[in-house]
Amino acid sequence: MSYFEILGNKYHPGHLQELLAVERGIKPAMRFSISEAQKPLLEMLKKESQKSGMFFIVKNYGEIHKFGSRKNADYLIYAAKSERLAKKLYQYEKAGDIRKVGESLGYPECCVDFYIDFLHSLPVKDGSCIKTFINTKSKPHFHANNIFNFQSRASGSFEKVKMLNSLNASKSYSRYFLISHIPCSYDCSESVAIGRELLKVIKAELPNFADEIVSALNRPFLLFDDFNWIAFNGAAKNKSTIEYEGIFPVRSLYPDDAFKNGNKVVVQKDEIQILTNDEITCRIKKKDEHDGVIIDFT
């Protein structure tokens, strides 16, 4: 069994494309966490790394993060095509050097700058996705769509991530992404380039999985914040209207019952209207202008 199959099918389905990105040189390195219960994975990785040319460095989670281990995160694993790169990534994270960690993971410089600025502005009530949307000046690209990758926004929001994982327990929707970082905008050219290159590799290696990813990301979203959104099976007619046939089967923390009964959403200045056959069936009052924005990734 290859390390792709080990991680993809049993332990970390959300990191399958990350491993492909590192193995094919699209990214220099990656890191992920595992629990004590997943410890057999460590020996499997060491054995497979000899065949794949990958290097894996394993560290106790508490060695890196002072608050110690958390559920499903007893160990941190740093992976790269060279032992030197894996060690450097570990050293940068242990030192708390966010910029060097981002650079070592192959994130675009503009996105690293964006993330550092975002951290310095915390607390931000809407989270990073709304800030990414605000920075988007042209057509959003589905290659840079990171909305389902809510694990990347876990810092400080572990309970919300736990709730999302529980809501989507039957399937790991957090694996639907082509970039693992938080993009500075949804039209960031460097992020889109990474996503495109990775999609080519996935199509060649795992065509069915590639189709799943594109189908999930290539759609209109109604976004409220990092953990509240509605993904539609439909089309955005303009910046304020989505016509749809149904809701994509992934749950966010936002109540979606009213949307399931409709077939059109209209976002106005002060409210969101849900319509069925052009008749308004529900009105949702907006807290501010960004409390419900349409992002068309099609």
How far, in Å, CA of 20 to CA of 16, rounded? 7
pLDDT band at 296 (very low <50, low <70, confident <90, very high): very high
Query: Taking 70 as the threshold, does the pLDDT of residue 11 lie above it?
Result: no
Return the higher-pLDDT residue of 67 and 287: 287
What are the structure tokens assigned to 176, written together? 């639907």
Whether 67 contacts 111, CB under 8 Å: no
Instruction: Write the pLDDT tens digit of every residue in 86-140.
Output: 999 999 999 999 999 999 999 999 999 999 998 888 666 668 999 999 999 999 9
pLDDT band at 156 (very low <50, low <70, confident <90, very high): low
The pLDDT score that the predictor gives to residue 72 is 55
**In three state form, how does the secondary structure of 150-188 look?**
HHHHCCCCHHHHHHHHHHCCCCCHHHCCCCCCCCCCCCC
What are the structure tokens assigned to 205, written together? 């290696």
Q: Name the strands in the sheet holding 75-80, side by side, starting at the edge strand that comes first in the sequence.
A: 29-34, 75-80, 55-60
Instruction: Write the pLDDT tens digit of every residue in 46-97.
Output: 677 667 788 888 888 777 765 444 555 678 889 999 999 999 999 999 999 9
Query: Taking 90 as the threshold, does the pLDDT of residue 39 lie above it?
Result: no
Whether 205 contacts 133, CB under 8 Å: no
Q: Which residue has the tokens 């419900």?
A: 292
How far, in Å, CA of 23 to CA of 3, rounded? 11
Residues 6+ apart with CB under 8 A from 145: 177, 178, 186, 217, 297
Instruction: Write the pLDDT tens digit of every residue in 197-253.
Output: 999 999 998 898 899 999 999 999 999 998 899 999 999 999 999 999 999 987 788
**Using alpha carbons only, what angle is made at residue 150 by residues 11 and 105, rounded to the nearest 5 degrees?**
75
**Amino acid code (one letter) for 191:** S
